[in-house]
Amino acid sequence: MPQIKAAICREFGQPLTIETVTLAAPKMGEIEVTLKACAICHSDISYMDGAWGGTLPAVYGHEAAGVVSAVGEGVRGVAMGDPVVVTLIRACGTCPSCAGGKPVACETGFEGSPLSDADGAPLHQAMYTGGFAERVVVDQSQVVKLSDAISMESASLLACGVITGVGAVVNAAHLRAGQDVVVIGAGGVGLNAIQGARIAGARRIVAVDMSEEKLAIAREFGATDGVLATDEKPWRAAKKAMGRGADAVFVTVGAIPAYDKAPQYLTNGGRVIMVGMPHSGAMSTYEPVMLAATGQGMVGSKMGDVVIARDIPWMVDLYEQGRLKLDELISGRWSLEQINEAIADTRTGSAKRNVIVFG
């Protein structure tokens, strides 16, 4: 069994420790991927901070890309040496949700971890991936084969941030060309909701963020207008820019005031799509009579409701055509040894993604 380096969380709120760990060989239906890149997501940080609980010690990291280095029995569609993106979406393929086309809502519970530490004690494979490590062993449902035309660093972003943002627009909101959109938060997921809205043919795309700098970046990704969230009643400026209320408002941040106020941006019949991941226990309030009187709705969207085998290939194709920005989402490249510095940089709230690059 291979010995690999991994970044381990042994205590919530503490830096990760780089340790040599053991990775079990792939079992039936599993694939070993030697990672080339793994991006850092705010979800990794929320887990590290204990915001959502979970088992320790654990290996986080779930936005990964690499090369298939071993395959278990019964694996179809990928072979040794194939470049792949590795996602956290593990799906059984046969439960009612999977069979109904919603693998992100798979109802089957999965247990077990291929990881153990130097003393042989089990390590939790967080988010079914454990991507802050030189290699991962994952279920074949989590993997999509890539073309050679895309770099591993750019491909890693497709595993979470990009599919979550773009998928919220095309799969959760079913946006039609000509509709108007507000995106609250111009961070890693927000920028992808913005470019998803541009790809889907939105008329006006209004970015709302606390920072002028992020609003400027939002315009590069397709926002037609920007509104500072710190303005008094920012929905007024957003509605002025659109000439009406929004058909869809995407909340891509974790801050509760953004959820409380999101319906204010809507037109009659519009939808709030909740994409961000506030800490467990955080509560929001809304006015039910407004939903009934206006036909408005609020819906959650997990991982962009993607079907990875369907959605990742078309996103790669749009990237190759220059219609989906990926390279521009990367703000820094770091080694695994530098992971705590990379995480600290991500915590500063920079708009884009830091990527761990493996040698």
Residues at the interface with Zn ion (CB under 5 A)? 41, 43, 91-92, 95, 98, 106, 108, 160
Q: Which is nearer to Zn ion, 55 or 108 (CB)?
A: 108
The verdict on whether omega for the bond into residue 57 sits within 30 degrees of 0, i.e. cis, is yes
Contact assessment for residue 215 and residue 228, using Cβ atoms and an 8 Å cutoff: yes
CB of 63 to Zn ion, least distance (A): 6
Q: Which is nearer to Zn ion, 46 or 296 (CB)?
A: 46
Considering the complex, state which of residue 159 and residue 207 has its C-beta at the smaller distance from Zn ion: 159
Q: Which is nearer to Zn ion, 38 or 242 (CB)?
A: 38
End-to-end CA distance of the chain: give it in Å, rounded. Answer: 20
CA 208 to chain centroid, in Å, comes to: 19
Taking the complex as a whole, the smallest distance from the CB of residue 169 to Zn ion amounts, in Å, to 17
How many DSSP H helices and E strands does the chain contain? 11, 18
- The amino acid that residue 209 corresponds to is D
User: How far is the C-alpha of 208 from the C-alpha of 263, rounded, in Å?
Assistant: 14
User: Is-contact 21 115, C-beta < 8 A?
Assistant: yes
| Angle subtended by helix axes 188-199 and 212-220, to nearest 10 | 40
List the structure tokens of 230.
Answer: 């710190």
Taking the complex as a whole, the smallest distance from the CB of residue 91 to Zn ion amounts, in Å, to: 5
User: Nearest approach, Cβ of 122 to Zn ion (angstroms)?
Assistant: 24
Closest CB to Zn ion among 43 and 195? 43
Residue 45: CB minimum distance to Zn ion, A:
10
The rounded distance, in Å, linking the Cα atoms of 273 and 298 is 6
Give me the residue whose beta carbon is nearest to Zn ion.
41
Alpha carbon 299 to its chain's center: 17
- Which CB sits closer to Zn ion, 153 or 247? 153
Q: How far is the CB of 297 from Zn ion (least distance, A)?
A: 25
